[in-house]
Each structure stands twice: as C-alpha cells, then as structure tokens.
Amino acid sequence: MKFDLKVLFLTATSVATVFALNACSGSPEPQTEPVPAAQTDSAAPVAEKNAEPAIPASYKDIQFPEYKYVAPYPKDFRVEIAPGISGYIVSDRSLPLVNFSVYFEQPRAPLSLKDEAASSMVGSMLRRGGGGGISAKALDDSLEFISAGLSSSVGTFTSMFDIDCLSKDFADMLKLSKQVLTDPAFDKDQFEILRANFLTAYDRRYDTPAKVLSALKAKVNYAPNPRLWDANAEDYKKVSVADVKQLAQGVYGNGRVIFALSGDVDKDSIVVVLKDFFEGWKTAVSKNVKKNAKAVAQEPTPLTFVRKPGIYVVDKDISQANISMNQPFVRRPHADYYPAAVANFILGGGSFTSRLMNRVRSDEGLAYSVYSSVGNDYRDTAMVTIALQTKVESVGFALKLIREVVNEFAEQGPTEEELSQAKKALIESLPSLFDSPEATAVIFAKGELLGKTYDHYLDYVKEINAVTADQVKAMVKKYFDMDKMTTSIVAPVSKLEAIKPFTVIPQDSLEFRN
C-alpha cells in the first residue's frame, strides 16, 4: 500500500514538473522549410510509437487506478500444534525480530472484593516476581542484557504472555518463559512495589474529569456485576503474597490456547519447535498446579443495563463540561452492526466529515472535538456513544444542537455522497489493521478466540457495501434516540440550571461494591 501511494505521488509530481518546464520554456522557432510529405508519412509511426502520454490540462484530470484491497486470509497462516492448541504464524525475514503472544482461554470473575484486588495484581506478579529458580532482579538483568521483553497479564476472559526478542534469542526466551511463568516465585519486594503502585492509582482515580466521567458513565448504565467491582485502598492492603499466589493457580494451564507468532521465523521449522514447547509447557503446569485446589474465581456473567434514561451529573468545579451520551447497542455478530457503523461514520465517527463535527464545532464553535461511536463487542452488549467537551455555559445549547442534528439525520437519512464516502472510508481503513506482521498474527489469534470466521474480513467489505440509505435512517432512529440515552456530565451543578431536571451523583458513590 505504501509503495503504491509513493508511486502515485511521484507520478503526479513528475507530471507537474514536466508541465511547469514546458510552460516556462520559450516557444519553438517556426520551421522555415516545409517537411516533405514522404518524410512526414514515414516518420509518423515512429513518432506515434515513442509519444509520451498526453499531459492533463489540470491536476483535476489526473486519473488514479481504482483502489482495491484484499485482506490476508487467516487460514493461510493458521497451524494446529495439538488438540486445543493452534495459532497463526506470519513470517517476515526483513528484520531479525520475533514476537510471540500466547492467549489462554480462562474466563474468571472474583468471588469477593479482596479477590478483585488480588486478581488485578496476578498478571503483573507472574512476570515481575521471578520464578523457576530465577530471582526477580536476575530476570530483569537477563532480559535487559539481550534487549528482550517478557510480559504477562490476566483478564476476565483470557490470560496471556508475550515475548519480544531478537530471532537468535527466541529459543532461549521460550525456555525462560516456561521456567518463570509455570513456576512463579512472587518476590515479596516486587509485591510491595506493585501494591504501592495500585494504592497510588486508587488515590488518583478521579484526578481528571475524564476519569470521573468514565466512572459515572459505567455507574448509570450498568447493573451491578462482579466484573465491575472496584477494590479500594483497604482491599489492596488486605492482600498478601499467598492470596496472589493462590489466584495464579492454573492461569496458564486449562482451556483453549491460541498463539500469534510473527517475524524472522521459518514457518515449517518453527512448528516443530512449538510442538516441543507446548508439550513441555503442559507438563510443567501440571507439575506446579496443586490438585483439588479451592475455587478462587467464578464464571463471569454478561453485563446488563439499568436502562434509566436521563441526565446524571457529578459536581466538579471545572470550566469545561465533560459529556457522554449512551444507549445500549448490540452484541456481535448482529445484523445491525454494519449499517449502524455506516450511520455512525456519517453522524460523528468520520471526524471533520461528520455532521456533528460540522455543526457543533465548525458552525457554532462549541467544542474542539465532538464524536460518536458504536461499540464492537462479542462478549457483552456494547453501547453507542456521543461525547464532547464544551464550556459549562454552552452545555444547554450544545445538547439542543446535537438533538437537532440527530433528529434531522433520522428523518432525512444520508445523502448519496455521504453514504458513498462513509463506505469508502470504512473499507479503505481495513489495511491499517494489518500494517505489520505482528498486527496480522495477533488480530487473527484474537479473532479465533472471539469466534470470527475465516471469511470475516472478506465479508466486512461485502456487508459495508450492501448498506442502504434506508438502513442508515433506521439505525439512527433505533440506536441514537436521544430520549433513550443516559447523559453523563461532569461539571459545576450550579451552572447547569438550563438543563434541569437532572440527578446529582456524589463522586464518592461511583464505585461498584458488593
């Protein structure tokens, strides 16, 4: 893609340069002697054969080839290592670098707030605490010496670790990761440093209006769920190394395994290496996991919505109001996703081409940025969003203007130009997902974890192109209905008289507790 653009740019530049040189040169001297007819006829074919392409009269007349892009096909990169263990290998021998990400399907939700605090520390401690007879300091020194990276994380649905290194060190990094992560040591000094970091983060959780808005938006939209629990300072102080160690049991053991490998590797030979690696990994995990261990987590349940439209405000003495309007959307795969994505692009997702940006920023100067988005979630029902920051004194006018833009769009639908431009932009953004071998391997691995088909990115183009103007209108009416939205605002309550009635939510009540 980059090569094509550069060629087009150089072509256009060359044409412009030739045009300028011709325009600046003097007119040719008139011929004083006529050319014989015979000579003219015989020379014509040669002149025609060697003639340069005609120079357009204007840069507007320059013709560019039609844009065509076909996304890489996941099945071309997929390998099966063993039952329940598969992944994607994208070779790139241009640089001596390797990235290896391994995802373990491990759905888990905390049983208590103390477990939530401990769970949030597990992912970091698996890497930071050393293991397999290697101290935390020795591990850091070893990785720094060879300019390699080893990271780990534990989430609600998947746990993972990641290796970045030079290709010559990849075999050693595989051994090191297995040694450390299957038999973690949980160094006490590293644990205290990590806990101090979490306590500091908790103390600063509402340092910015954006952080307050994020918490308010969750509080007024979602019903209580263990996945949303917020551990506080006291919860973190109660956590011990033993608690973290207990919660780490089996993190990288059970469940489906999907990996993403990219860089300076030979696909055929590396498969043999990976088979040995994962066989040894399973053996090491089985050896170090306690049998009949007490359950430390529960099965996560989907997030549900409160569905109480209205305006909710956290009182904060600031000059710029932070606003987010939200409504439940869909859980993918869903037939409404693609037409809603096109509608969103036209409404507020298309930056300076969007209706909200043109009206709220360009025409009225009410906000530096105003945008809309539609959530893309395969595990929970997502949300649609309209968000902006504006002067506190302008909140009422801004909300009124946004309502007008949405209602007008819902009634009239998109113009042909808007519809065409939205489809074109969404489709032409597809290559950015595959802009590196690492990105390609990772997106395929994560896609398989979510259940995406091999044809997902081919179908994406077809689905976007099939969206009609009537579908766009229907999506705006269905998912951007201002009367069905919760409007979350962080601003001084005393300056919001114009938008009453609203509900004031105390900042210290934003946390989810059991």
Q: 167-224 pLDDT, tens per residue?
A: 999 999 999 999 999 999 999 999 999 999 999 999 999 999 999 999 999 999 999 9
Judged against a pLDDT cut of 70, whether residue 10 lies above it is answered with: no
Q: Collapse the DSSP code of 66 into the 3-class scheme (helix H, G, I; strand E, B; otherwise coil) and give the result.
A: coil
Query: 323 with 403: CB under 8 angstroms?
Result: no
| 355 and 346 Cβ atoms separated by less than 8 Å | yes
- The CB density around residue 450, as the number of other CB atoms within 10 Å, is 13
Q: Who's near 304: CB < 8 A, 6+ residues apart?
A: 222, 223, 225, 381
Distance CA 344, CA 351 (A): 11
φ/ψ (deg, to 5) at 180 = -80, -45
Please give the Cα distance from 234 to 212 (Å, whole number).
21
Query: What CA–CA distance (Å, rounded) separates 426 from 69?
Result: 12
- In sequence order, the 6+-apart residues with CB closer than 8 A to the CB of 299 are 107, 108, 109
Closest CA to 300 of 362, 228, 216: 228
Distance CA 390, CA 385 (A): 16
* SS3 label, residue 511: coil
Lowest mean pLDDT among 64-73, 175-184, 217-226, 438-447: 64-73
Rounded to whole angstroms, how far apart are CA atoms 225 and 348? 31
Pick 277 or 57 by higher pLDDT: 277
| Residue 254: band (very low, low, confident or very high) from pLDDT cuts 50, 70, 90 | confident
pLDDT at 48 over 90: no
The whole model's pTM is what?
0.84
Instruction: Confirm if 243 and 205 have CB atoms less than 8 A apart.
Output: no
CA atoms lying within 13 Å on the CB side of residue 47: 6
- pLDDT tens for each residue of 322-369: 999 999 999 999 999 999 999 999 999 998 999 999 999 999 999 999
